[in-house]
Structure 1
Amino acid sequence: MMRLVIVDSDRDFSAKVVEEARRTGDIDVAAVLHEDQGAVETVRRCGANLVLVQLSSPSVDGAALVRRLRKEAVPSTIFVMATAAEETLLTRTVELGADYCVIRPFDVPTLLRRMRQFARPGPAALAAGDEFEQEQVVTAIVQRLDALGVPRHFKGYQYLVDAIRLVVYDVTLLHTVTKELYPSVARRHNTSSERVERAIRNAIEVTMTRGNLDQIHRAFGYLLDGKKGKPTNSSFIGRLADQVRLQLRVG
């Protein structure tokens, strides 16, 4: 089970997160703090692999907390909540090491879904069965990419592995490819969304030209573009994610 520490001065919102986490049952809210004092120690003591931080309030300095967590090498995934007016400070917080940013207002179920996707294994890590399943998913993705002839030495290869894995667990990401999927992959590789998109596009185009044509037609069929003969990034990712999900009965 994932363990979460909340650092937010908004008591009503914190209570909503706690309630939703209890309802779903797979995220344990280990502590709720309404000020940042002692937050690093609390995260360590609880063995939390998720931290939800308010960006700015009189009692919470989210940027400073992110800096301290990263300076002390706390291996938690950090989610920062902000308003649209705090964009400049939010950018700085990402540079300091925040993993994911959410703009208020947003709904709590969506927030928790994102947490499940991005949580790093921590002292209270995912159960062995979950870890084994994730290894199986990655192995299945790699096998399919290799069968198609996607060049392993291309940057787009690893980006595809990550993108497909994310979509296996959350198909709705295909509806927000540029706003959520590419940025999610980019954060994992310390690069930009645009570079992720270009690298994936390049890997797909080379594969369609030099790859295993029999496997390509078997995998995609009608999804191939009638004019260019190449699937779009999203259709390529979505089709392979569907195949892996069916193969392993994930979700």
Structure 2
Amino acid sequence: MENGRYGELSPQNAQNLMNLIDQALNSLAVKIENKGGQYIREILYILLTEKAQTTEIAEPLRRVAHRFGIAAESARSSIRYAIVQAWRMGDPNVQYRYFGRSVEFHRGKPTESAFIATVAMALRHEADAYFSRSKLPDDGIPPEMIF
């Protein structure tokens, strides 16, 4: 249970928030079955549940690396690989919806920090609206939250 940005989350509400993250990552073709996708998922969860409005990933990256028992640079490398694969395999329309003109699609993918920060900001808006509307009921995420 977290006592941060959204108060104390019940286990079900924490899972609902994780489902929201999973849906966003799935829409962006990030494979959460792979290590890099797992690390991105965990960093996003930390960023969404912290009271601070930050999208800086250095500290969450260190925490996730420690949790998984690896070096931060190894986690960053896995994240980079996950983003490269997602960018190559993903739907350009979905990528554009998240990143807009902030990334030149013919030149390449966003950096690890830019990718995570952008997704975190989009998810924060969705989660804030959801929490203020319903305080995350235990019956799951409503269909309008699906990207």
Scaled to the shorter chain, the TM-score interval is 0.7 to 0.9
Write the distance in 2 (CA, Å) between the matches of 1:225 and 1:195.
27
Question: Quick one: which of 150, 156, 164 aligns to 2:36?
Answer: 156
On the 8 A contact 1:157/1:200 being kept in 2, the answer is yes
Residue 188 of structure 1 deviates from its aligned partner by 1.4
* Higher-RCO chain (CA-CA 8 Å, sequence separation at least 6): 2
Higher-Rg structure is 1
Contact kept in structure 2, 1:182 and 1:193, CA below 8 Å: yes
1:162-241 superposed matches below 5 A:
162-170=42-50, 171-172=53-54, 174=56, 177-178=57-58, 180-225=59-104, 228-241=107-120
Provide the alpha-carbon RMSD of the alignment: 2.7
Deviations 1:139-169 (A, max 9, x none): 1110011111112332101000001111113
Give the structure with the larger strand fraction. Answer: 1
Aligned-partner Cα distance in 2 for 1:223–1:236? 10
- Bigger share in helix: 2
Runs of 4+ in 1 over 4 A off after TM superposition: none
> Any stretches of 5+ residues in structure 2 without a counterpart?
133-147
Establish whether residue 145 from structure 1 lines up as the match of residue 31 from structure 2: no
TM-fit CA distance, 1:173: 5.3
Which residue identity lines up with residue 54 of structure 2 in the other structure? T
Structure 1 residue runs without a partner (length 5+): 3-25, 27-115, 118-125
Q: How many residues align?
A: 127
The verdict on how the C-alpha distance between 1:226 and 1:210 changes in structure 2, with shifts beyond 3 A counting, is closer
